[in-house]
């Protein structure tokens, strides 16, 4: 029989817990036999009853079509709340006492989920260790850390050494929730289960690669965090680079965590700015007041906890290259921005034009393969065909597959996939330290370029794109 497992959330009063973690745990409970006992911890002096009352409304609304009144109540009523003050060691000892009262602590598995601001990762981990909650001869002690993992290579390295003194690498799970998205997992299938693509997948047939993520939303109440991070560290260093690595890596020897991570790492290490001068391949922007879907929205500088003189970027566009044989010379464009005209993430593989001059009335348009990550995951492929009723006229046609529409109700949210993997000890969809090191190293070169005045800030109206 499986051991009893506890899932202990730090930062349980935060948005992420209510919007993503608890709905994911609810779905896991309803789909599997072995769901963990949940302990929600936070600084607020709530009773368990207060916490459940407070959480009921947001969790129910984020469950959307999965909401079932009875099941939601049963799920929430099983949560325990414990007050934890990150700097107060005694509160960690109380947590241990609580666990010991109900169990022989050596016989239970524990997953810690740190949905806190990253500056608390070290304190929480060290206090867990001092309370005797991080080691066990017989049972699992894993820790899941939310992003961002560090703010630079130096800072992430310090953080990593400190966490490594508490948990072994095997037990550290660094989240990049994009890796849990269905269409990112699908990249491996699209690339390696269709052997027609592999011979085309290189500089010989591909003109450029674009990794795009646009959001109509602004930064909401996260001004404090975003001022430190900006678009570069919030999205490019992690989600967009992860998308690129899956698209550009060599076929791994086997589809498992070890081999995939090894290939992804080679991609991260090969990333370079396309041109010698950073200003020729980096654009940054910040949104000013504007309109989104007919509604007026404030400028970034007028958002809560944002400086009136802020030079933090809410838009970044990069032109990179991968310094390896397969991709030599192929430009890779990455674009991410907040308060854009639309919300969507996709990967565009732009193929080279055919050398078929003189065959047809018009030149055919180059083929494009688009992996649509969201809002509706799917695959789009543009090819050319004869225009009906003509003799020699060509038109582009599309093969457009909507993965999300075909699988309504069957596609788990990224957090559900990742939490389930963390319970099962499956690390393929988590970021390894070596990967992070390489992505930070490259990101640092862009942050350095931002510090010079060569890369001008493009102020763009919310709801538009920077020029
Ligand atoms: C988070 C960023 O990691 O990803 C947010 O901190 C961003 O700023 C979010 O909005 C986007 O995630 P998704 O899944 O909505 O595309």
Choosing from 118, 151, 215, 404 the residue with most ligand 1 atoms within 8 A of its CB, the one to mutate for a pocket test is 215
Lowest mean pLDDT among 15-19, 32-36, 431-435: 32-36
Pick the residue whose CA is nearest to atom 14 on ligand 1. Answer: 178
Atom of ligand 1 at shortest range from CA of 234:
6
CB neighbours of residue 305 within 10 Å: 12
Task: State the pLDDT at residue 185.
Answer: 96
Pick the residue whose CA is nearest to atom 5 on ligand 1. Answer: 234
Choosing from 182, 235, 315, 335 the residue with most ligand 1 atoms within 8 A of its CB, the one to mutate for a pocket test is 235
213 alpha carbon to ligand 1 midpoint, in Å? Answer: 9
Confidence bin at 391 (pLDDT 50/70/90): confident
CB 51 within 8 A of CB 12: yes
The structure tokens listed for 432 are 């390894």
Pairing of strands 282-288, 457-461: parallel
Choosing from 239, 242, 243, 343 the residue with most ligand 1 atoms within 8 A of its CB, the one to mutate for a pocket test is 239
The structure tokens listed for 75 are 């799920």
Atom of ligand 1 at shortest range from CA of 219:
8
Q: What is the pLDDT of residues 153-190, one digit of tens each?
A: 999 999 999 999 999 999 999 999 999 999 999 999 99
Above 80 in pLDDT, residue 465?
Answer: yes
- The better pLDDT of the pair 407, 16 is held by 16
Q: What is the pLDDT of residues 250-263, one digit of tens each?
A: 999 999 999 999 99
Pick the residue whose CA is nearest to atom 6 on ligand 1. Answer: 234
Task: State the pLDDT at residue 358.
Answer: 80
Cα gap 107→128, rounded to integer Å? 17
Cα gap 51→49, rounded to integer Å? 5
Pick the residue whose CA is nearest to atom 9 on ligand 1. Answer: 235
Helix and strand numbers, DSSP H then E, in the chain:
14, 18
93 alpha carbon to ligand 1 midpoint, in Å? Answer: 34
Confidence bin at 23 (pLDDT 50/70/90): very high
Cα gap 60→72, rounded to integer Å? 7
Tell me the average pLDDT of the chain.
95
Pocket of ligand 1 contains residue 215 by CB under 6 Å: yes
Q: Catalytic residues, which ones?
A: 239
Cα gap 263→253, rounded to integer Å? 9
Cα gap 51→57, rounded to integer Å? 11
User: Which phi and psi (to 5°) does residue 250 adopt?
Assistant: -70, 155
CB neighbours of residue 39 within 10 Å: 22
Q: What is the pLDDT of residues 325-358, one digit of tens each?
A: 999 999 999 999 999 999 999 999 999 998 887 8
Confidence bin at 1 (pLDDT 50/70/90): low
Atom of ligand 1 at shortest range from CA of 345:
16
Pick the residue whose CA is nearest to atom 15 on ligand 1. Answer: 215
175 alpha carbon to ligand 1 midpoint, in Å? Answer: 12
177 alpha carbon to ligand 1 midpoint, in Å? Answer: 8
320 alpha carbon to ligand 1 midpoint, in Å? Answer: 22
Choosing from 19, 183, 234 the residue with most ligand 1 atoms within 8 A of its CB, the one to mutate for a pocket test is 234
Task: State the pLDDT at residue 409.
Answer: 75
Q: Could you give the dihedral angle defined by the CA atoms of residues 175, 441, 262 and 7, in that order, rounded to the nearest 10 degrees?
A: -20
Pocket of ligand 1 contains residue 234 by CB under 6 Å: yes
For residue 94, count CB atoms less than 10 angstroms from its CB and return exposed for 0-12, middle for 13-18, buried for 19 or more.
middle
Q: What is the pLDDT of residues 89-109, one digit of tens each?
A: 999 999 999 999 999 999 999
CB 38 within 8 A of CB 25: yes
Hunting for tokens 């909650």 — which residue is that?
A: 133
412 alpha carbon to ligand 1 midpoint, in Å? Answer: 17
Atom of ligand 1 at shortest range from CA of 215:
10
Pick the residue whose CA is nearest to atom 13 on ligand 1. Answer: 178
Q: What is the pLDDT of residues 107-158, one digit of tens each?
A: 999 999 999 989 999 999 999 999 999 999 999 999 999 999 999 999 999 9
Above 90 in pLDDT, residue 80?
Answer: yes
CB 338 within 8 A of CB 287: yes
Atom of ligand 1 at shortest range from CA of 373:
16
Helix (H, G, I), strand (E, B) or coil at 276: coil
For 109-142, b/e burial (b = at least 16 CB within 10 A) is bbbbbbbbebeebbebbbbbbebebbeeeebebb
Atom of ligand 1 at shortest range from CA of 213:
16
19 alpha carbon to ligand 1 midpoint, in Å? Answer: 12
15 alpha carbon to ligand 1 midpoint, in Å? Answer: 13
CB 84 within 8 A of CB 42: yes
CA 162, 168, 172: angle at the middle one, nearest 5?
A: 80
Sequence-distant (≥ 6) Cβ neighbours of residue 160 within 8 angstroms: 149, 150, 433, 436
Q: Which of 88, 1, 19 is nearest to 9 (CA)?
A: 19
Q: Is the dihedral of CA 349, 244, 239, 440 positive or negative?
A: negative
304 alpha carbon to ligand 1 midpoint, in Å? Answer: 18
- The better pLDDT of the pair 177, 66 is held by 177
């Amino acid at each position: 029989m499986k051991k009893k497992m506890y899932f202990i959330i730090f930062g349980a009063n935060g948005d992420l817990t209510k919007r993503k973690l608890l709905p994911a745990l609810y779905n896991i409970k309803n789909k599997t036999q072995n769901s963990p006992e949940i302990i929600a911890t936070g600084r607020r002096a709530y009773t368990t009853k207060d916490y459940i009352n407070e959480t009921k409304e947001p969790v129910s609304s984020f469950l959307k079509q999965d909401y079932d009144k009875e099941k939601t109540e049963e799920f929430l009523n099983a949560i325990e709340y414990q007050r934890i003050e990150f700097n107060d060691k005694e509160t960690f000892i109380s947590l241990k006492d609580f666990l010991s009262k109900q169990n022989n602590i050596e016989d239970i598995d524990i997953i810690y989920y740190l949905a806190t601001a990253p500056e608390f990762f070290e304190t929480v981990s060290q206090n867990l260790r001092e309370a005797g909650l991080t080691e066990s001869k017989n049972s699992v002690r894993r820790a899941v850390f939310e992003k961002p993992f560090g703010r630079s290579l130096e800072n992430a390295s310090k953080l990593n050494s400190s966490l490594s003194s508490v948990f072994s690498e095997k037990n550290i799970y660094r989240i990049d929730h994009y890796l849990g998205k269905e269409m990112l997992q699908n990249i491996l299938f699209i690339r390696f289960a269709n052997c027609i693509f592999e011979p085309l997948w290189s500089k010989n047939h591909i003109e450029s690669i674009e990794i795009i993520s646009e959001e109509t939303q602004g930064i909401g109440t996260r001004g404090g965090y975003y001022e430190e991070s900006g678009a570069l560290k919030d999205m490019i260093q992690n989600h967009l680079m992860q998308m690129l690595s899956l698209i550009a890596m060599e076929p791994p020897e086997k589809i498992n965590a070890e081999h995939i991570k090894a290939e992804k790492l080679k991609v991260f290490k090969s990333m370079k700015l396309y041109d010698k001068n950073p200003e020729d391949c980096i654009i940054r922007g910040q949104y000013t007041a504007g309109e989104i879907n007919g509604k007026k929205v404030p400028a970034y500088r007028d958002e809560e906890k944002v400086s009136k003189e802020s030079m933090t970027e809410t838009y970044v566009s990069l032109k990179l290259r991968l310094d390896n044989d397969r991709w030599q010379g192929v430009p890779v464009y990455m674009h991410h921005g907040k308060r854009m005209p639309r919300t969507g993430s996709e990967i565009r593989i732009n193929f080279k034009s055919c050398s078929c001059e003189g065959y047809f009335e018009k030149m055919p348009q180059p083929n494009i393969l688009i992996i649509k990550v969201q809002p509706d995951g799917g695959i789009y492929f543009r090819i050319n065909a004869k225009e009906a009723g003509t003799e020699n006229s060509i038109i582009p046609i599309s093969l457009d597959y909507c993965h999300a529409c075909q699988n309504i109700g069957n596609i788990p949210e990224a957090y559900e996939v990742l939490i389930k993997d963390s319970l099962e000890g499956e690390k393929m969809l988590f970021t390894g330290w070596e990967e992070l090191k390489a992505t930070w190293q490259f990101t640092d070169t862009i942050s350095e370029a931002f510090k010079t005045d060569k890369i001008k800030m493009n102020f763009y109206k919310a709801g538009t794109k920077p020029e």
